[in-house]
Structure 1
Amino acid sequence: MDVSHALGESSSQENTSEKHIHSTQHETDHGAETDLRRTLSTRHMTMIALGSSIGMGLWLGSGTSLMNGGPAALFIGYILAGTMIWSVSHAIGEMAVLYPLPSAFVQWSSIFISKELGFAVGWAYWFSAFITIANELQGVVTVLSFWTDAVPTAAWISIFWVVIIFINAWAVKFFGEVEVVSSTIKFSWIFVVIISLIVVSAGGAPNHEAIGFRYWNAEPFTNGFKGFLSVMPTCIFAMSGSENSALVSAETQNPRKSVPRAVGSIWLRLSLFYLLGSLVVTITVSPEDPNLFGASGTNASPFVIAYTNAGIPALAHIMNAVIFISVVSTGSISGFGGSRLLMGLSHLRMAPKIFGRADKQGRPVAGLAITLLLGGALAYLNVSASGADVFSWFSNLTSLFTLFGWGSICASHLRMRYAWKKQGRSEADLPWKTWTYPYASWWGLTWCILLIIAEFYLSVWPLHTEPNVKDFFANYVSIIVVLVVYLGARVWYRGPWWVDAEAIDLDGPRRFYAPDDLEGKKPNVFEKSVGWVFN
């Protein structure tokens, strides 16, 4: 099908003010116009990129990983996952500037590789989106149980399900502002966490106990290689969502300006949140602490446990509050991303037409409704099972969907560049190009494949139990679903395994920029103060 025709090249649906903005930004914008509205700015996109993936995976899931893998396994796991999402982000950056399309990576896979892969990627990411909502809602229960057990689990899930619905159902710009505030809180608090836990480890806490690298020296890997593999799904799940910046690009005023800034900030998020964050928690919390999330005690975040054991209850309460904000924020972003994925699938005629429409405010109502409904309903599994068990199941499902998605993004980038060269075009014609090509994309793709194979091994021979059919399907059903969806698409489309590079339409879905495109908005005080981060 003609992608540019499916997406619609006309901008007649935009109001007068939007036309004025667009006329200063680009000469033509083929294929990027839908019912969505470009109401998000560089500030929104940068902060969403900084904080979108900081949720339950890092703050709570690190407890399960620390217990199963040990301090060294947790830290190495985040390093490996970090190099992968760094590679994926650079691939996204180059394609999102050139092709800022709704559902981004779904359409990139369809255009540069095959419709079948785009179909599988889109539905896999949508499955992941509503599963993440369910996981974050059950995470709310764990976080709030630190303060009280008086409220039933179902009540907490219901209350914050409504909160997430409200954030997404309000104006898109309201969603953007909520994410800016929550990302700012998370971004600011991580400095406090790193400094304070280093002080705790050195013996500067009220208990005056110098811990140093005691836990690393005692047992860096608690369950050997298999324990390390068991850590990887949580590390991947923790970093999943970083690719949401690609989805946001279709609703930003100037992707050429906002996307590179978002990509430029990835190193800070990786180094501060994940690497230093995981390091300081591994030197202050024992992997044998019974209160760790997934252990036999209160099932608390390792960061909260670190402050509690150090005798600093005030910081423990603040930490738990920040975790609560993070969990709600990540659930909200998943609703946003899931609805946009359905919109892209609809425009490619891979989902019902109703999901391709948005209201006058630019909200894809049908996509939001089904994504939030399924995510909230799935969260009620936590009523009859432990939070840690539900988390492990959901995170395994999501991490495999994520690995498949990350791999497809890297492959799409390699194919896009191959087609660009094959058709005799110069790299200088790209509006923004990453300096990491092609090594980063090959690195990301290779590790995605290797980890999918490694997770197969862990599903057949799971940690702590004997091989059984139940655990295999519970842990590996994501890949089975992807294969079924992909093969079903193969039967339906009956086309070549991949598109001919010389036949790819590189201009139809492309956005063209004027030389003097500007967003027309001065940076605020916050952006100025940390401007070095984004450039």
Structure 2
Amino acid sequence: MEDHPAYRESNEKSTAVAAESDLRRRDHGAETELQRHLSTRHVTMIALGSSIGMGLWLGSGKSLASGGPVGIFLGYVLAGSMVWAVSHSIGELAVLYPLPSAFVQWTNKFVTPSAAFALGWAYWFNYVLTVANEIQVTCVVMGFWTDKLPNAAWITIFWAVVILANVFGVKVFGEVEVIGSSIKFGWIIVVIFSMIVTSAGGAPGHGPIGFRYWNSDPFTHGFKGFLSVIPTCIFAMAGSENCGLVAAETKNPRKAVPRAVGSIWLRLSLFYLLGAVMVSINVDPRNKDLFGQSGTNASPFVIAYREAGLPALAHMMNAIILISVVSTGTIYVYGGSRNVLGLAHLNMAPKQFKLADSSGRPWPALALSIILGGGLAYLNVKNSSADVFTWLSNMTSLFALFGWGMICLAHIRFRHAWHAQGRSASALPWKSWTYPYGAWWGLVWCMVLIVVEFYLAVWPLGSPPSAKSFFSNYVSVIAILVLYLGARLYYRGPWWIKLTDIDLDANGRFYVDGEVEKEPKKGLRGKAEKVLGVVFN
């Protein structure tokens, strides 16, 4: 690219500048005290399994009861297409701008500081609420085995586990997520094949089922029931954006982030779409034991194995759910702490949250996210798990939609600024083949679904309209508007940053030829990484 010397390989001076800029950022996330300790393996597995938690394993039961087998499948198809589009927008931005609280800094850079302020704090609330939701639902999981301990005891125990996974440094966190994601990925293969067998009548508990429920009750509550499934599907699939968040602590984002983005199709197809099909062909949508119904409130996967006469698999499934819940809670504590740190570096949070120790642990931000996330989990003590799940998942799905929409908008604005300043798309270190259609698809659907959730908040499924129902389901949007308008009053200025005023080089990461991530060459770990590279590329 002739007008951008940082990318002109033939110019030795520009290559030296790029190398020096890269070295300044190699040990620390751009101008922060975060450490680049995460490898391609870590980022790939975090992208693959970070959001596989109770949204899929438990929330799919609630979705099945509300929307029916066809409703839950279509809900995951729509949410999955949005995640796929958002992930590609993240990939292009994260390779060039691997920053802490990535989405916030991109919005601040390409949209407006007011929107960045609202997004940053909204997303932090999203992380905290998800931590609370994951921890509190351990009571349901443990209730499958015993009711000897009160809910508060289980919440306290698993809160402590989440804390431990985050306080031992980034490397330990990365390994915990790799192990958790590997277990989840391996188990979903078992689920798919075993449930095909049970549906065909190969288990002792019942005869062939086939697509009986698809034919008899495809939409249990009509079109409104289908719409009510969407918030849970969004909640279940939120988390793919974490592959952009961890780029600031990744050794080589140009290699790690595209590989993580490329693995998204695997998670969407295996975990969600095939998982939804397996549930819908094995479990009656009117089963009273589904999570949120009048019975035992179990996972639909556990119910499927139990009714098939396979108690050992039911127990194993419940154990996998427990691992998934803890793993997802861990990644969201990580995300919340890095989000606050990024806000502090934009002077949108107290300066104390900029601090991190020599190992890259942002203690003040970690403490805030851990304490509030774990504290909110105790809502379960006075309310049912299903009620708390509904409140928190509705709030977090709206925060996620706002976040996804701003990511797509920042990507669109970035590309427009890149073009307006006379730069060629071929000069990008990684270019998404989905642009512009993917970014616009994600943005438009985010706006549409925010309106859909307003309709469901005013006229909820199965209950009359009420102020309590509206605010408990739509308070997230009110919070976002308050944050945005407050920031507008403070920052003032134009509604949009001019495309020609955007500094495309500031905080960017330049890459030089031959920059590769060192990988183990021998031993079990080296062999494992080689296999993962084949699978996820």
- Find 1:412's aligned residue among 391, 410, 413: 410
Q: Does 1:422 align with 2:424?
A: no
Structure 2 equivalent of residue 321 of structure 1: 319
Given the two structures, how large is their TM-score scaled by the length of structure 1? 0.94
- Structure-2 residue corresponding to 1:67: 65
What pairs with 1:310-459 in structure 2 (closer than 5 Å)?
310-459=308-457
The aligned residue for residue 131 of structure 1 is 129
CA root-mean-square deviation: 1.4
- SS of 2:137's partner is helix
Tell me the residue number matched to 1:45.
43
1:71-150 equivalences in 2 (<5 Å): 71-150=69-148
Q: In the TM superposition, what is the alpha-carbon distance from 1:246 to its structure 2 partner?
A: 1.0
Following the alignment from structure 1 to structure 2, what is the Cα–Cα distance between the partners of residues 141 and 434?
Answer: 42
- CA change 1:500–1:379 in 2 (3 A) is same
**1:237-269: CA deviation from partner (whole Å, max 9, x where unpaired):** 001111111110000111011000000000000
Aligned-residue offset at 1:26: 3.8
Q: CA–CA distance in 1 between the matches of 2:275 and 2:318?
A: 15
* Residue type of the alignment partner of 1:449: M
**Are the structure 2 counterparts of residues 27 and 287 from structure 1 closer, same or farther at C-alpha, using a change threshold of 3 Å?**
same
In structure 1, C-alpha distance between the alignment counterparts of 2:54 and 2:493, rounded to whole Å: 41
Asked if structure 1 preserves the Cα contact closer than 8 Å seen for 2:206 and 2:307, the reply is: no
Corresponding residue SS for 1:66: helix
Residue segments in structure 1 that go unaligned for 5+ positions in a row: 1-21
Partner of 1:525: 527
Is contact 1:71–1:287 with CA below 8 Å preserved after alignment? yes
The structural deviation recorded for 1:487 is 0.2
Question: Once structures 1 and 2 are overlaid, which stretch shifts more, 25-34 or 417-426?
Answer: 25-34
Identity of aligned residues (%): 64
The Cα shift of 1:522 comes to: 3.8
Any idea what the Cα deviations from partners look like across 1:149-203, whole Å, max 9, x if unmatched?
Answer: 1111000001111111111111110010000000000000000000000000000
Which ranges in structure 2 are unaligned for 5 or more consecutive residues? Answer: 1-17
The structure-2 alpha-carbon separation of the partners of 1:25 and 1:519, relative to structure 1 and needing over 3 Å to count, comes to: farther
Deviation string for 1:116-139 (max 9, x for gaps)?
A: 011011001000001001000111
Superposition deviation, residue 530 in structure 1: 4.1
Asked if the contact 2:205–2:310 (Cα under 8 Å) also holds between the matched residues in 1, the reply is: no
2: CA distance, partners of 1:305 / 1:60: 11
CA contact (8 A) 1:89 1:263 kept: yes
- Give deviations 1:323-375, integer Å, cap 9, x for gaps: 00000000010100000000110000000001111011100000010111001
Q: Give the deviation of 1:29 after TM superposition.
A: 4.3
Aligned residues: 514
Aligned AA (1:187):
F
Q: Which residue of 2 aligns with 1:263?
A: 261
Match for 1:134: what amino acid?
A: A
2:238 to 237, 240, 251: 240
The equivalent of 2:277 in structure 1 is 279
Do the aligned residues in 2 keep the contact of 1:305 with 1:316 (CA within 8 Å)? yes
Report the alpha carbon displacement of residue 114 of structure 1 after superposing the two structures with TM.
0.2
**Matching residue's letter, 1:419:** A
Structure 2 CA distance for aligned equivalents of residues 533 and 498 of structure 1: 42
Distance 1:80 1:25 in 2: 41
Cα distance in 2 for partners of 1:62, 1:253 equals 36
1:396-432 deviation line (CA, Å, top 9, x unaligned)? 0000000000000000000000000000001111000
Could you tell me how far 1:521 is from its partner in structure 2? 1.3
- Say if 2:38 is the partner of 1:36: no
Opposite residue 529 of structure 2, the aligned amino acid is E
Cα separation, partners in 2 of 1:410 and 1:484, compared to 1, 3 Å = same
The match for 1:222 is 220
Cα distance in 2, alignment partners of residues 518 and 212 from structure 1:
49
For residue 212 of structure 1, report the CA deviation from its aligned partner: 0.3
> Which residue number in structure 2 is paired with residue 9 of structure 1?
none
1:132/1:334 contact within 8 Å kept: yes
1:312, distance to aligned residue in structure 2 (A):
0.2
- Secondary structure of the 1:520 match is coil
**Alignment partners' CA distance in 2, 1:24 and 1:174:** 29
Tell me: CA distance 1:315–1:83, structure 2 relative to 1, closer, same or farther (3 Å).
same
In 1: Cα distance, 2:319 partner to 2:434 partner: 38
The alignment partner of 2:440 has SS state of helix
Q: Distance in 2 between matches of 1:27 and 1:377?
A: 40
Residues of 2 paired with 1:55 and 1:380: CA distance? 19
Alpha-carbon separation, structure 1, partners of 2:24 and 2:338: 23
**Conserved 8 A contact 1:381-1:390:** yes
Kept in 1, the 8 Å contact 2:402–2:446? The answer is yes
Q: Which residue in 1 is equivalent to 2:197?
A: 199
Equivalents in 2 of 1:137, 1:28: separation in Å?
38
Matched ranges for 1:145-164 at <5 A = 145-164=143-162
Cα distance in structure 2, aligned partners of 1:357 and 1:23: 27
Tell me which amino acid in the other structure corresponds to 2:64. L
Contact 1:27 1:514 in 2 (8 A): no
Partner of 1:534: 536
Q: Which amino acid aligns with 1:327?
A: V
Scaled by the length of structure 2, what TM-score is found? 0.94
